[in-house]
Structure 1
């Protein structure tokens, strides 16, 4: 296929573009969980997507694509950590620095996971599809076989229950 600029495009180019447009926000959230700032997360995702694009034709099953991109992000980030570690030189002088406790993220994820687990099945499914899988309300309605109004009201009730969840209230006031 020849593009507008006259360059030849790879056969899976359009399919890859649709995949990135659809799954990009969810993949960016994962990249943010691996990095310290949004700019690094965008760079990490871009590097992983380049690796994925180069192997796009070999990824035979569409459901394996997210796993491939996520693995590429993790491997790229591990390589970056190793490269940064080599830039650190030991010294006898220990600088005074505030060290943030990263465990709050895993603690919060655990509290949120348990709170979502306490929701009724339909509410839990709707919350997971909307906020974890990043589907639109229309896509959720199609997938669940319900009306758009049902999805909206179910999400509203679920979010209200989560706002009133005792563990999450404690986490918000102490965290």
Structure 2
């Protein structure tokens, strides 16, 4: 890889790392696994960086690689998820929610099917449009709409959110 390409990749990683880890943490529920997942996705992106950097939606492309890498975990072996991890943007204080509220939210998200969880995280945490989310997940816009609708319905009735997070 040329030095300019190498430098561009490093700048990309430095600017996106916290958001990618936060998304991966939402997908996996484990910080160490999330960091490994991001590294796996970025290794794949690095291998094709010269071509990838010219993508129309570079972030969307990387999100898709990340989501596909997460899906690969389920194909390889049975994965048991543990969402006791509390999430916040690395390096930024969370002034909008208490620890208990965040814990309740992540516990409720943990009960969603992996595809529903990915759709909700991309739509509402990464603020992607339905079309962008569909492109990242490799599904139709209608599938994104139904997955997010079903997920939101489940979240609204989750005991984690309706009783203050206690069970």
Under TM normalisation by the shorter chain, which class is it?
0.3 to 0.5
Larger radius of gyration: 1
How high is the TM-score relative to the length of structure 2?
0.47
How high is the TM-score relative to the length of structure 1?
0.45
